Amino acid sequence: MQLLAILAVIVHGVVRRPRVSPELIVVAEDGGCVVPEWHTGRQVLGARTRLCPYWISLEFGTGPHRRDILLFKDQLGREQWTRLAAVLRRVRIQ
């Protein structure tokens, strides 16, 4: 039984593995975003975008094409983090 449970966890991890994060995310002063790797053009941030002291969750798109990116403070330089947080606050993302 334990072997079956371990196998289920491994299969779940392989099947549900998240995609590789994009190399570049461009966020404009008005909150519009472009992720060049996705070839989707300019998108607005969704309602589930969240700004917290140590992480930022960005929601892109709607419906079946909705994607989320989670950024941690240590993934960005201090200046990049400060600018991104300021832009998100300005466009009233909480």
Quick: pLDDT tens for 52-81: 999 999 998 777 778 888 999 999 999 999
Residue entry with tokens 């993302």: 93
Both tokens assigned to 87: 């832009």
Question: Could you report the per-residue pLDDT of 10-21, keeping only the tens digit for each?
Answer: 988 888 877 777
Provide CB contacts within 8 A for 48, sequence distance 6+. 57, 59, 68
For 6-50, how does the pLDDT look when each residue is reduced to its tens digit (9 = 90+)? 999 898 888 887 777 788 888 888 888 888 988 888 888 888 899
| Token pair listed for 92 | 């009233």
- Per the confidence metrics, is the pTM higher than 0.75? no
